Structure 1
Amino acid sequence: MKYKLVKLNKFSGHQASIYSIFIEDEQKTLFDRFLEENKNLFLSELKDITARLNTIGHYTGAREKFFRFKEGIPGDGVCALFDVPDSNLRLYCIRYGSLIVILGGGGYKPKGMASFQENTKLQDENYLLRQISSDIKRRMADDEISFTDDYMDFEGNLIFNDEEDE
Structure 2
Amino acid sequence: MKFRLVKIEKLSGQKTQVYSIIMNDEDKNLFEHFLEENSPNFRNELTEILSRIKSIANKEGAKEYFFKKAEGKLGDGVEALFDESKRKLRLYCIRYGSVILILGGGGSKNVRALQDDPKLKQENYLLRSISKRLSQAMQDGDMQWNSNYTDFIGTFIFDDNEDF
- TM-score above 0.5: yes
The match for 1:76 is 76
Sequence identity, in percent?
50
Distance 1:57 1:122 in 2: 25
Picking from 126, 132, 135, the partner of 1:134 is: 132
CA RMSD of aligned residues (A): 1.5
Unpaired segments ≥5 residues, structure 1: none
Distance 2:3 2:56 in 1: 24
Aligned match of 2:107: 107
After superposition, give the CA deviation of every residue in 1:46-75 in whole Å (9 maximum; x if it has no partner).
000000000000110001000000100011
Query: 1:144: which partner in 2?
Result: 142
Paired with 2:125 and 2:85, the residues of 1 have a C-alpha distance of 25
Find out whether 1:161 has 2:159 as its counterpart: yes
> CA separation in 1, counterparts of 2:120 and 2:131?
17
CA distance in 1, matches of 2:149, 2:75: 18
TM-score normalised according to structure 1 size: 0.94
Give the deviation of 1:106 after TM superposition: 0.3
**Deviation for aligned residue 1:164:** 6.8
TM-aligned CA distance change 1:164 to 1:73, over 3 Å = closer
Aligned partners of 2:82 and 2:89 also within 8 Å: no
Query: Is residue 65–residue 82 contact of structure 1 (8 Å, CA) maintained in 2?
Result: no
Cα 1:165–1:153, aligned 2, differ >3 Å: closer, same or farther? farther
Aligned equivalents of 1:4, 1:41: Cα separation in 2:
29
The 2-side partners of 1:29 and 1:55 are apart by: 21
Number of aligned residues: 164
Superposed CA offset, 1:85-131 (max 9, x none): 33121100000001001000001112xx2110000000000000000
Q: Distance in 2 between matches of 1:77 and 1:85?
A: 20
Task: For structure 2, list consecutive stretches of 5 or more residues without a partner in the other structure.
Answer: none
The runs of 4+ residues in structure 1 deviating greater than 4 Å are: none
**Residues 49, 14 of structure 1: alpha-carbon distance in 2 compared, 3 angstrom cutoff:** same
1:2 Cα offset (Å):
1.9
Q: Give the match's secondary structure for 1:163.
A: coil
Q: Give 1:142 shift.
A: 0.6
List aligned pairs for 1:39-118, cutoff 5 A: 39-110=39-110, 113-118=111-116
What is the aligned counterpart of 1:120 among 118, 121, 129?
118
Per-residue deviation at 1:165?
A: 8.7
The structural deviation recorded for 1:162 is 2.7
